Chain A
Amino acid sequence: MPAQAWSAPFLASLRRTAGLLFGSPLNAALTLAFGAVIAVAVPPMLRWLVLDAVLFNPDPAACRATSGACWSFIYAKSGQLLFGIYPVEERWRPALVCLLILALLGWSVRPASWTPRLLGLWIAALALIVWLMGGGLGLEEIPTSAWGGLPVTLILTVVAIGIAFPVGILLALARRSTMPAVRISAVIMIESVRGLPLLSILFVASIMLPLFLPEALLPDKFVRALVALTIFAAAYLAEVVRGGLQAIPKGQYEAAAALGLPFWRTQYLVILPQAIRVVIPALANTIIVMIKNTSLVLVVGLFDLISSGKAALADPAWPSPAAETFLFIGAIFFALSFSFARFADFLERRGPAAR
């Protein structure tokens, strides 16, 4: 009897699984097709990734000898991969910056912490980040040309979105303005930025800024890329916010007008808090897009994760395991944006929060 007691539910679940996999001719065909693909593709991948791979052996010769992946390279070069050409003895500073940004991001996604105080926290954190990365006031000064790797990716994402958000709100309000000159300028600005690839904006920023501006005012490469990313993010955020503004019923404006509130106070106290609440999932998606987009700054010569990976690969002592390095970098980006995507899903399921 005890044998039957455990085997009955087991058999039932087996039957259910078999029904799902082979219940109809279509399902059986799908199972066979996908099973064949998995059977062909997965074993060699597994052999390369784990079974034949060199995991921790710090000797480059071990990597030359195997046909599997060379993870010990990633292990040995992790400092250079993550922090680029930042001076080795100062690497605790970018490491601290990364932890700080990630902790703040984790803190900020809690709906409970969405208060005006959060903004102040971020501004203070940014000052701290600039000080930690750049130095001065007791720390050794490091120019932005030596910044590299993960902190560059994170700082570009956070600062670009941080500046672009208020600009985007202004653009969205301008696009819905009744004043034609204001509206037309906003439309031209938003639509031309959205019609262009980010790479071309980065190129234009790096080619045109030196020509536009007098040499004394010329910003360095880091700031140029930041300007391009901010303009790009502002145009997309403006459209997201505009979507929220369109969702606000006219009665809200009329109620504010009945109270005698002037334009900016109407927006700040009545309209924007509701409009932004509606579009929080869309905002999270835009942030994911921006995290992924910062990977493009390598093309204008900034030292982000990809370029520090390429620099690490140039070491002649190692057999240049490019696929492993880019897989590692891809995994970092994936972890960042996948967790943010799950958070966006959670917000979407929760629906627009009531006050």
Chain B
Amino acid sequence: MFRDARTRSIAIQCLLVMAVIAAASLFITTTFTNLQTRGIPIGFDFLTMPSRIVISEAILSYKSRDPYYWAIVVGLANTVFISALVIVFSSVLGLIVGVTRLSSNPLAAGTCRVWVEIARNSPPIVLLIFLYSLWWKVLPPVAEALNPIPGVFASMRGVMVPSVHVDMETAGVALIVLAGLLILVARMASALRRFRAPLSWAAGAALLFGLWVADAGFSTDWPVFAGSNFQGGLELTPELSTILIGLTLYTTGFIAEIVRGGVLSVGPGQWDAGRSVGLSRTQILRLIVIPQMLRVIVPPLNSQYINVVKNSTLAIAVGYPDFLAVMNTIISKSSHSIEGVFIILGVYLALNLTLSSAANWYNRRIAIVER
């Protein structure tokens, strides 16, 4: 009977399914008996109870009498905030470093190479702990804060940057304008391919107009040194600054290599071909080189972005309360470990699946359409 491939295949699959079910039920029953003998309740009711945990800093406002679910949201917001900033900074820097590595200038190419090699060959957690230990060694006390760019101050207490305040009405108007723009772009893609350029100019003008209408609701707040501390602006603590700087330095090394590989993947023959049909330099870049480069760059860039979200968990090494750190505190405080683990797994899977499906959508759009 087992000589028949079809029967054998069905038998193997049945065995596998039974094994999975048996293992799962064994795990579940032991878990429940273990929980019962220790008198630990199960359920998600605890989420609405006051958490009374301490979150040392947060992008959203948080008080220790807020419920557990809000503590989780606050931790998640911190994770998203770090990841988004690191992704933006390291993409820009990675582009510059990657292109500079290809420069014929030995000084520039060599410096960038040292950066890339250090970033790629050190564990990010060691990098973060090292930078954190440097913070008080290198930076001056708050009264003598460094002021490298107008409005930015760096001292032992952290980094001060100008902040932008937006009131709710303005945010509403801005969102409406943005929504209109998105609809416009979506329509452009299918029907109005030929008028893409004038339409984007019109859309840009509309956005500026929307911002001008909403002007009253915008205000910038610059940090000013007053007496013993800074007033106004946004304060990035040493912990947050270390994570942002460290993860950006680290991720930049990887993105630079991806960019370099992408540039090298488009051979010089492509430039020659473009010139021979009479295209200008910008046209060759826009029509021939960049589209081919993107195809090589986007898939690995996507996995780097997902890695940034994963690496943001290293915030725990310098004591910044990211999502995982908050969940860890909640689990040890509330003893709802099973529920906590499910929330951890669900949130990271959801974050990464969102990122990768967005990248896959973009990847399909730029992929080669073969005959």
A204 interfacial contact with B, CB 8 Å: yes
Identify the closest chain A residue to B349 (Cβ): A195
A280 interfacial contact with B, CB 8 Å: no
How far, in angstroms, from A340 to B118 measured CA to CA in the complex?
Answer: 14
B7 interfacial contact with A, CB 8 Å: no
Asked if residues A182 and B12 are in contact (CB atoms below 8 Å), the reply is: yes
Asked if residues A31 and B107 are in contact (CB atoms below 8 Å), the reply is: yes
- 0/1 string, A265-298, CB within 8 A of B gives 1: 0000000000000000000000010001101101
How far, in angstroms, from A244 to B139 measured CA to CA in the complex?
Answer: 50
Residues of A within 8 A of B12 (CB): 179, 182
Asked if residues A199 and B324 are in contact (CB atoms below 8 Å), the reply is: yes
- 0/1 string, A211-250, CB within 8 A of B gives 1: 1111100000000000000000000000000000000000
Asked if residues B105 and A181 are in contact (CB atoms below 8 Å), the reply is: no
- 0/1 string, B231-274, CB within 8 A of A gives 1: 00000000000000000000000000000000000000000000
Residues of A within 8 A of B123 (CB): 292-293, 295-296, 330, 333
Asked if residues B121 and A197 are in contact (CB atoms below 8 Å), the reply is: no
Among B9, B100, B317, B338, point to the contact of A30 (Cβ < 8 A).
B100
Stretch at the interface among A3-11, A135-143, A319-327: A319-327
Asked if residues B125 and A295 are in contact (CB atoms below 8 Å), the reply is: yes
- Specify the main secondary structure of chain A where it touches its partner: helix
Asked if residues B103 and A30 are in contact (CB atoms below 8 Å), the reply is: yes
A124 interfacial contact with B, CB 8 Å: no
Among A207, A211, A299, A329, point to the contact of B317 (Cβ < 8 A).
A299
B16 interfacial contact with A, CB 8 Å: yes
Residues of B within 8 A of A323 (CB): 130, 133-134, 137
How far, in angstroms, from A248 to B30 measured CA to CA in the complex?
Answer: 44
Interface residues of A in 1-57 (CB under 8 A from B): 17, 20-21, 23, 27, 30-31, 33-35, 37-38
How near does chain A come to B130, taking the closest CB pair, in angstroms? Answer: 4
- 0/1 string, B115-150, CB within 8 A of A gives 1: 001101111111101100110010000000000000
How far, in angstroms, from A299 to B124 measured CA to CA in the complex?
Answer: 13
- 0/1 string, A301-340, CB within 8 A of B gives 1: 0000010000000000000001100110110011001100
Residues of B within 8 A of A306 (CB): 125-126, 129
With A21-B106, A204-B345, A208-B337 already in contact, the answer to whether A299 and B316 are too (CB < 8 A) is: yes
With A178-B9, A288-B121 already in contact, the answer to whether A185 and B313 are too (CB < 8 A) is: no
How far, in angstroms, from A214 to B32 measured CA to CA in the complex?
Answer: 11
How near does chain A come to B306, taking the closest CB pair, in angstroms? Answer: 8
How near does chain A come to B358, taking the closest CB pair, in angstroms? Answer: 14
Residues of B within 8 A of A30 (CB): 100, 103, 105, 107-108
How near does chain A come to B191, taking the closest CB pair, in angstroms? Answer: 37
Asked if residues B130 and A207 are in contact (CB atoms below 8 Å), the reply is: no
Among A182, A212, A337, A338, point to the contact of B31 (Cβ < 8 A).
A212
With A182-B16, A306-B129 already in contact, the answer to whether A197 and B105 are too (CB < 8 A) is: no
B275 interfacial contact with A, CB 8 Å: no
Q: A20-B105, A207-B340, A333-B126 are in contact. List 20 more A-B contacts (CB 8 A).
A: A27-B103, A30-B103, A30-B105, A31-B105, A31-B108, A179-B12, A195-B306, A196-B352, A197-B310, A197-B324, A197-B348, A198-B310, A199-B324, A293-B123, A295-B123, A296-B123, A306-B129, A334-B122, A337-B120, A338-B117
What residues of chain A have their CB less than 8 Å away from a CB belonging to chain B? 17, 20-21, 23, 27, 30-31, 33-35, 37-38, 178-182, 185, 192, 195-200, 203-204, 207-208, 210-215, 288, 292-293, 295-296, 298-299, 306, 322-323, 326-327, 329-330, 333-334, 337-338, 341
**Mind listing 15 A-B residue pairs with CB under 8 Å?**
A27-B105, A34-B107, A178-B9, A182-B12, A182-B13, A196-B345, A197-B310, A199-B310, A204-B341, A207-B337, A208-B337, A210-B34, A211-B338, A212-B27, A296-B314
